[in-house]
Amino acid sequence: MKRFDSVDDVRALIAEWREAGGTVALAPTMGNLHKGHMSLVARAAGEADHVVVSVFVNPTQFGPNEDYEDYPRTLDVDARRLSRAGVDLLFAPSVETMYPDGVDVATTVNVPGLSDVLEGEHRPGHFEGVTSVVCRLFNICSPDVAVFGQKDYQQFVILRRMVADLQLPVRLVAGPTEREKNGLAMSSRNGYLDKDQQEMATAIYKSLQQAQTELLDGARAYTELEQFAEERITAAGLGPEYVAIREAEDFSMPGSSSTDLVVLAAARLGTVRLIDNLTVKL
Q: Which residues contact ligand PAF (rule: CB under 6 A)? A: 28-30, 58, 61, 130, 133-134, 152, 155
CB 54 within 8 A of CB 79: no
Which one, 153 or 205, has the nearer CB to ligand PAF?
153
Residue 122 annotated as catalytic: no
Rounded Cα–Cα distance for residues 256 and 12 (Å): 53
Which one, 63 or 237, has the nearer CB to ligand PAF?
63
**Min CB(74)–ligand PAF separation in Å:** 14
Exactly one of 34, 37, 50, 126 is catalytic; name it: 37
Rounded Cα–Cα distance for residues 13 and 52 (Å): 11
**Min CB(269)–ligand PAF separation in Å:** 20
**Min CB(134)–ligand PAF separation in Å:** 6
Which one, 138 or 251, has the nearer CB to ligand PAF?
138
Which one, 155 or 207, has the nearer CB to ligand PAF?
155
**Min CB(247)–ligand PAF separation in Å:** 22
Q: Which of 75, 79, 90 shows the shortest CA–CA distance to 2?
A: 90
Active site residues: 37
